[in-house]
A and B are shown apart, each in its own frame.
Chain A
Amino acid sequence: MAPGSSTINRKRVVALKKYLLKGNEAIAEAAIKAGCRLFFGYPITPSTEIIEYMAKHLPAVDGSFVQAESEVSAINMCYGAAGAGVRVMTASSSPGMSLMQEGLSYIAANELPVVLVNIVRAGPGLGGLGPSQADYFQATKGGGHGDYRLIVLAPNSVQELVDLTRDAFDLADMHRNPVLLIADGILGQMMEPVVFKELEAPSLPDKTWATTGAEGRPRNIITSYALQNEIGEANCLRWEAKYKNIAATEQRWEQYMIDDADYVVVAYGTTARIAKAAVQQARQEGIKVGLLRPVTLWPFPVKAFAALGGKVKGYLTVELSAGQMIEDVRLAINCAVPVHLCNRQGGMVPSPEEVLARFKEVFPNSVEGGV
């Protein structure tokens, strides 16, 4: 069990047989198994297998699939369906996610449980199809207008795509909040063996707020219109309290060889796999370095950094961007020790050797005999 905490506590019942699945298809199958019955999307590489899988497999479970006229429409279809109380998902890649930001703001304001997938590609603009983590700011700091947060989950394997897709639906229902699963073309396109664990469903609140027709109950209204400033502020305070609660209870991370570490590499998703190999190489050279892998990007696992206390002499983030998560690392440690960046961009990925070389460059004292 990874450190951190979650309000979704599961008791394993039984493990089933292994399947060899492509990441994107694994997400889609996990969503259907999680009770997702509606999918609205628009084709975009490298996420398209998700909508293709949904188009093919949702009818068999009496679900409904719509290929929307745009991502703008797709996200608003999700809004309507989630407001009607049904589990719903959409998936896209970076330029499409930009188009969804308007709808996401409304979904967050109305506290609707929608699950989104961003198979990030290199941007800005139309960019390229290669792996990228350049949407970190958009995912974790807002993206649409107004003050809101998404719960952001960052898997680093096909198995974790499956596990976190399932958790995403439960977290969305638990907190009445949109949840974003963020990955890239490497994770979306790679094939790995997975199991679909049969787990106890967590206890979730009833959707008494859903618009299902007011038969036999007072009518329900879903709207974010609040022209009266006093009401606007009361709404904001309610959301702020919810986000604080999520930040306190839903931080997740994985740590590797960290107990005696003088230095810590921080990476999520694809780069965490590369960084892990770099840490293994460094350890063989006698360098005391560990890996901290955020699994939730929001809430950022600040508890993991707090637990390391003052032992760590420096951090290196490995990112497929010009350096975005590095800001959260610096905040998490109050800039107490140096935090450096190892990065590639535009669809390029560093090798473990590149990461290790960068590590030695910025932390020369970490190497025996170094200066």
Chain B
Amino acid sequence: MKEVFTRSKALTEAPFHYCPGCTHGIIHRLVAEKIEEMDLLGKAIGVTPVGCAGFCQQYFNIDMQGAAHGRAPAVATGIKRALPDKFVFTYQGDGDLASIGIAEIMHAAARGENITAIFVNNAIYGMTGGQMAPTTLPGQKTSTSPFGREASLAGFPLDMPRIMAQIEGAAYVASVSVDSPKNVIQAKRAIGQAFECQLAGRGFSFVSILSTCPTNWGLSPVKSLEWLREKMMQQFALGILKDVSAK
């Protein structure tokens, strides 16, 4: 019988704990498939965030370190400086990376630290139950913006990939989504290019991936994908924003 689909060797057998319709599972699979395809199983070291993906050491079948909230890029820096020949990446959500950890991510990029950051943006704090994130859209209702995010009180969302692309030390910056098969394929390609960037020693690489949170958005999985396309993509435009190798 022809095998058409199998679990990546870079994933354990542990079932994901993520809510139905959450796209963390897809993103985990894409990262894992690239780790396997690029023969990184024995040399990859991942750094987990705090948030919904804070358990991803259970799922990635590689060496992992769990960081404090927002500190993953600093932890990854320590690992990479200790072991420059190993492959080091962080996996972080929007609260972790764009709020409490914004100093760590920006300065890792500024140093041109030769690591990769996978940034999962679902515009909300998922693990703590749906609070406003730095990426929450204007007008978006969350448990801490119950009347909708009001700019005069709570400001505006941060478009992280566009911010990161301004930093000279960032060698590769992509903004992708996993809302459709086409975009899933493009997201996987971007993850591969980011990994390639690190393996070639070109410096810091960053892949922002738009994701859903049906539970805390209060939408069905299908409606969540529609909301992502209609609202999030307007705020966070997709594209390869920077690739120093493509000159």
- A-side residues, CB < 8 A to B, are 38, 40, 64, 66, 68-70, 72-74, 76-86, 88, 102-103, 106, 110, 211-216, 219-225
Considering only residues 15-66 of chain B, those with a C-beta below 8 Å from chain A are 41-45, 47-48, 54-55, 57, 61-66
- B61 near A219 with CB under 8 A, answer yes
Given contacts A40-B78, A72-B71, contact A222 B41 (CB under 8 A): no
Q: Is B213 an interface residue (CB 8 A)?
A: no
Query: How many inter-chain contacts with C-beta < 8 Å in the A-B complex?
Result: 132
In whole Å, how far is A217's beta carbon from the nearest beta carbon of chain B? 9
Contact B83 A84, beta carbon cutoff 8 Å: yes
Contact flag A215-B81 (CB < 8 Å), given A69-B104, A76-B71, A80-B75? no
A223 near B48 (CB under 8 angstroms)? yes
Question: Which chain A residues lie closer than 8 Å to B74 at the CB level?
Answer: 68, 72-74, 76-77, 79-80
Tell me, in angstroms, the Cα distance from A82 to B82 when the chains sit together.
8
Chief secondary structure at chain B's binding surface = mixed
Docked complex: B69-99 residues within 8 A CB-CB of A: 71, 74-83, 86-87
Residues of A within 8 A of B44 (CB): 213
**A103/B71 contact (C-beta < 8 A), A213-B83, A219-B62, A223-B66 known:** yes
List residues 95-135 of chain B with CB under 8 A from any CB of chain A.
Answer: 103-104, 106-107, 111
Contact between A80 and B79 (Cβ–Cβ < 8 Å)? Answer: yes
B residues less than 8 Å from A69 (CB atoms): 103-104, 106-107
B71 pairs with A211, CB closer than 8 A: no
Find chain A residues with CB under 8 A from B83 CB.
Answer: 84, 86, 212-213
For chain B, which range describes its interface: under 10, 10 to 19, 20 to 34, or 35 or more residues?
A: 35 or more
B219 close to A (CB within 8 Å)? no
A212 to B43, CA, bound (A): 7
Contact B65 A214 (CB under 8 A): no
Asked if B64 and A211 sit within 8 Å, CB to CB, the answer is: yes
Q: Can you name 13 extra interface pairs (CB under 8 A) apart from A72-B103, A214-B41, A214-B62?
A: A38-B82, A66-B81, A70-B103, A72-B71, A76-B75, A80-B76, A84-B78, A84-B79, A88-B82, A211-B65, A214-B42, A220-B64, A221-B57
Once the chains are docked, how many angstroms separate the CA of A102 from the CA of B65?
Answer: 16
Q: Is B67's beta carbon under 8 Å from chain A? A: yes
Closest 7 CB pairs of A and B: A80-B78, A215-B42, A223-B66, A76-B74, A81-B78, A80-B75, A84-B82
Using Cβ atoms and an 8 Å threshold, which residues of chain A touch B62? 213-214, 219
Closest chain A residue to B85, Cβ basis:
A213
Given A66-B111, A80-B75, A223-B57, the answer on whether A214 and B63 have CB atoms closer than 8 Å is yes
B68 on interface, CB distance cutoff 8 Å: yes
Bound-complex Cα distance A80 to B71 (A):
10
Most buried by B among A69, A74, A78, A102: A69
**Could you list 13 A-B pairs, sorted by A, with CB under 8 Å?**
A38-B81, A68-B107, A76-B78, A77-B77, A77-B81, A79-B71, A80-B79, A83-B79, A86-B83, A88-B82, A211-B45, A212-B83, A219-B64
Residue of A nearest to B12 (CB): A219
CA distance A220 to B66 in the complex (A): 11
For B81, list chain A residues within 8 Å (CB): 38, 64, 66, 77, 81
| Chain A hits for B103, CB < 8 A | 69-70, 72-73
Closest to B87 in A: A213
- Chain B CB within 10 Å — which of A66, A77, A81, A106 has the most? A77
